[in-house]
Chain A
């Protein structure tokens, strides 16, 4: 009986997560679309929030699912997992997200960075600052962007100018997005 209940719970959580990942992908597409208005976006966000809460209240039961999903190469799946892990507010979840942000590349890095932008970051802001200062360039630029999104970027951070001049265009792009999000004029420099 207990096994049946556990299976049912797992299925429900998988359903919540699958729906959340799909809604996450949809949201990214609708964010600056002429086909939707703020009301539609708000309704979409409420729908997502229902699934997020379903996964958060599941506690440890949702962890195996989220731990596997954050490793996914599908951007929306990785992003949804990272977002829920941060919303859970556990040390293990926060560490999993930081680990993923540090090691991810390309579209997966972009996706996890987006999740860090959307989620509360009070608990990981110092680590994001460290990542910006000393992490690999792609992760440092992603950290800069996430900090800027939350209004926590120090525009005078010495690494920023170097990131804007990095050899990888994806890093340069992210560094300029951080400038836009920070609202502060960049300081010339870098190598």
Chain B
């Protein structure tokens, strides 16, 4: 089965957006990676997201200014079916469902070409791209730390092949790809949810896995963090709890771990503490919908768009580094990694 959003009118009339299983499609005016960009001034930067799960397809408004309408009724969250009409800004989409084996539908007649018009949106991932020759040997270096520095250098210097390279590498993730996982989590977009989740699962449950998930900041990873908080290993639970706090900004109570986890002869007052899973679940139950209105969070701040200095300075130092390298890669932050290290703090 294929689900398509056909663009009936508006600036991209004639375009088709494919909605793949498990890969949410975010539509809006933003040109951020992972967003199907529609140059419709009446749309919000992140207007709505469509997700397919099995034979079901769901649309959620992302807090847009002008609202999302399905068959003329304004919705914040609705199930879609074939033939539904979605109105966002001045653009109308029609939901089409096709059998997988069917040949592709004839493309709607394109409108007359207009020089200023962007190409019709598609949701196909760009093909993996090869690294620049100057980087190629370093990315295959026997020394893991050299590979790591080369990857980060590629990010700081905005290498256009980098995300394609990371996606191709992580199609078959291994623990040795931990640096690539972290970097894709930082640089990737909502279209990378499944890839990042699957890649992180190649790492043992613990600080590395949860660091990747928290760096990604997408609300879809939170279920994994909640499961980690309930892990019987207190160290795993602690790492998951810190990641949950990093993404959501929640401050979880710490409770004593079970008596079976205390070392023999340990003072009861020195009991290992772990994050309170009930508090985490309660927080998430109340905050879930708000967080699903965007695709990247850190400390409860929406980082899906461009970041400003005030926001950067509200982050912890690890998250600040991640936000700045992402901003630098995407062209929304013009600083240098040295700005994050020099004595006296970040330059204004």
Contacts and interface: CB of A to CB of B under 8 A. Distances in A.
A185 B143 contact: no
Contact of B146 (A37, A169, A180): A169
Given A165-B137, A186-B134, A188-B132, A176 B153 contact: yes
B227 interface: no
24 contacts: A31-B317, A34-B318, A37-B313, A38-B320, A39-B313, A42-B344, A118-B343, A149-B342, A151-B336, A161-B134, A169-B142, A172-B143, A176-B146, A176-B149, A177-B153, A179-B150, A179-B157, A181-B336, A181-B337, A181-B338, A183-B336, A185-B134, A186-B153, A188-B132
B145 interface: yes
A171 to B, nearest CB: 10
Contacts of A187: 134
Contacts of A34: 242, 246, 316-319
Contacts of B246: 34
Interface in A89-148: 117-118, 148
Given A35-B316, A151-B336, A176-B153, 13 more contacts: A34-B317, A48-B343, A151-B338, A169-B143, A169-B146, A172-B146, A173-B145, A176-B138, A181-B156, A181-B337, A185-B159, A186-B157, A189-B134
DSSP majority for the B interface? helix
A185 B150 CA distance: 11
B344 A45 contact: yes
Interface residues of A, number: 40
Interface centre among A150, A151, A183 (most CB of B within 10 A): A183
A178 to B, nearest CB: 8
B133 interface: yes
A118 B342 CA distance: 6
Interface string A30-46: 11111111110110010
Interface string B320-348: 11000000100000001110111111100
Nearest to B338: A149
B146 A173 contact: yes
Contact of A180 (B142, B143, B157, B313): B157
A184 interface: yes
B316 A36 contact: yes
A177 B316 contact: no
Given A169-B146, A176-B149, A185-B134, A33 B317 contact: yes
Interface in B200-235: none
Contacts, number: 116
Contacts of A38: 312-313, 315, 317, 320, 345-346
Interface of A: 30-39, 41-42, 45, 48-49, 117-118, 148-151, 161, 164-165, 169, 172-173, 176-177, 179-189
Q: How big is the B interface, by class?
A: 35 or more
Contacts of A164: 134, 138
A185 B132 contact: yes
Interface string B120-158: 000000000000111101100111011001101101110
Interface in B71-94: none
Contact of B135 (A49, A173, A181, A186): A186
A49 B336 CA distance: 23
Interface string B239-250: 000100010000
Contacts of A149: 338, 341-342
Given A33-B316, A34-B246, A180-B337, A185 B157 contact: yes
A32 B318 CA distance: 4
A147 B347 CA distance: 18
B317 A32 contact: yes
Contacts of A188: 132-134
Contacts of B138: 164, 172, 176
A176 B145 CA distance: 10
A124 to B, nearest CB: 17
B330 to A, nearest CB: 14
Contacts of B344: 42, 45, 49
Max chain A C-beta neighbours (<10 A), residue from B137, B246, B338: B338
A169 B343 contact: no
Nearest to B142: A169
A183 B343 CA distance: 20
B346 to A, nearest CB: 6
Nearest to A30: B317
B336 A41 contact: no
Contacts of A35: 316
